[in-house]
Amino acid sequence: MVKDGGTLSDGELRAATLLVLGGDHPVLHRLYGEGKAEPVGRGFNLMVLKHPWNPGKSIGIIAARSAQEVAAAFPKIFHYGKYSTLAFENGRNVAATVAASAQGMRKSLIKDPPAVVPSTLQSLSAVIENLAKKKIIYVGEEHDTYSHHQVQLEILRGLHRQDPKIAVGMEMFERSAQKALDDYIAGAIGERAFLKRSEYFKRWSYDYHHYKPILDFAREKRLPVMALNISSDIIRKVGKGGVDSLSKQESQEIPRELDFSDQEYRARLKNVFIVHPGNEKQNFDFFHQAQILWDESMAESVDRFVKTNPEFRIMVLAGAGHLQYGAGIPKRSLRRNGLDYAIVLSDGEINKGIADFIVFPEALNGPSAPLLMAWLTESDRSVRIARFAKDSVAEKAGLKVDDTLLSLDDSPVSGIDDVRIALFYKQAGETIKARARRGKEELEFSVKLQ
């Protein structure tokens, strides 16, 4: 069957063995990204690659300079059946290679474990010195571990001392938040307005106390801060129904290049998927597509910045899973721009190639926002109390299930993010004034926070 590659659904791509005509075909960008599946620049080229979505299938690629080169070479390719790449010039074979593959079954009876030599351990300041010549510095985190964010802050300060032309790229913000970030860094809006306009508490579930010192430093020094992430709505939609489920408009927002060829990364993601809550109701292929889309989108954002701001270095803050072994963001950015990078992780496993540096910070208990200890639901720009936690301070203050919150400390509440912003500026032991509607009544409560 012959089909236009642009009309193939993900299901059709996955199920078929394909013969692709042209080395710059959209299907190849969709599966391998740019460069990985391009034949050598000869008169006539043939490549056969593993199908990244289906190990039982293959993808053949034919590219040629002219019809004459095709006519001269095509009758001869059937004599070269064992080769995975072929190249011809005027009908004469000039290259023939076989892709490496595993033979037989290999099993190590005793795994040679990694070892660390304590006498060679470096300090964080020494690590920062080693980053001086890197254009892109990726610094990983476990999102809810305060000490990891303190490491990020110290690295940012150190890089700024080396050269003030340093920017910060953040997974925590979606691209739609860029204007709010720019205005906040420039001092045009305050923090409350920034948190509201960036939709931080709608789009990212982690305590802003973790990231506030980093953004405070960037604001003080007027460092560019880049929102790296694509819309979380698109990521969730792909996770449920694959890239095919996106509308035409949504498809225009995602990167043209998606590389699915890293099978080791796929295997690590499969292990993550297996222990993911509710995985039995999900499709791993869609989960994989969503992860690759997530990585490629952030890599694309990094690439756009470094190409339009060549005088700047950039420090990228992202979850460790997006950085380990370079498989998530780093190698996908490298594929686009070829710029040197380094990866720094905190409290990571000591595995060969996982990162350039692993830091082991002292555990820290950072500040955190107090809670109302109530489950809230949001609809039609109103927030309702659905239920209470045990020993809830809100319930003790007199609030009840089905009460609608109207304001906290006289700040209007129209969404759950308004509640989280109000609580961010309070401390345990303080009191917050809550106004709520119960039936036709408007009531006021004084809630002592824990």
Q: Give the per-residue pLDDT at 41.
A: 62
| CATH number where 137 lies | 3.40.50.11550
Q: Is residue 163 part of a domain?
A: yes
| Residues 177 and 315 grouped into a single domain | yes
Q: Which tokens go with 67?
A: 């019809």
* Whether residue 321 sits in one domain with residue 223: yes
- Residues linked to residue 404 through DSSP beta bridges, in sequence order: 384, 437
3-state class (DSSP) for residue 92: strand
Domain that residue 216 falls in: 123-359
Give the tokens for residue 405.
Answer: 């919150």
Distance of CA 50 to the CA centre of its chain: 25
Model pLDDT, residue 49? 82
- DSSP letter, residue 259: B
Position 101, amino acid: S
Ramachandran angles phi, psi of 447, nearest 5°:
-105, 120
pLDDT at residue 108, as a whole number: 56
Number of domains in the chain: 3
Task: Reduce the DSSP state of residue 107 to 3 states and report it.
Answer: coil
Tokens, residue 391 = 């020993």
In a domain, 322, yes or no: yes
Is 115 a domain residue?
Answer: no
CA atoms within 13 Å, Cβ hemisphere of 336 = 23
Per-10-residue mean pLDDT of the chain, 450 residues long, equals 70 78 76 68 79 79 83 77 79 77 54 82 95 97 97 98 98 98 98 98 94 98 98 96 95 93 95 84 93 98 98 98 97 96 95 95 93 96 97 98 98 97 96 97 96
Q: Does residue 208 share a domain with residue 355?
A: yes
Query: Does residue 74 form part of some domain?
Result: yes
Can you give the CATH number for the domain in which 422 is found?
Answer: 2.30.42.10
Does 292 lie in the same domain as 439? no
Cα–Cα distance, 184 to 190 (Å, whole number): 6
pLDDT at 110: 66
Decide if 102 is inside a domain: no
- Torsion angle in degrees (nearest 10) through CA of 365, 367, 369, 374: 10
Contacts of 23-28 spanning 24+ positions with Cβ under 8 A: 23/61, 23/63, 25/61, 26/256, 28/61
> Are residues 11 and 91 located together in one domain of the fold?
yes
d(CA 296, CA 33): 9
Strand partners, 443: 436
* Judgement on whether residues 197 and 133 belong to the same structural domain of the protein: yes
| CA separation for the pair 263, 148 (Å, rounded) | 29
Do 197 and 303 sit in the same domain of this protein?
Answer: yes
Rounded to two decimals, the pTM is 0.81
Whole-number pLDDT of residue 300: 98
Identify whether residues 338 and 278 lie together within a single domain.
Answer: yes
242 phi-psi bin (left φ>0, alpha ψ -120 to 50, beta other): left
Q: Are residues 255 and 149 in the same domain?
A: yes
437/379 Cα distance (integer angstroms): 15
Same domain, 295 and 413: no
Residues 317 and 396 in one domain: no
Which residue type occupies 47? M
Residue 362, both tokens: 């002292």
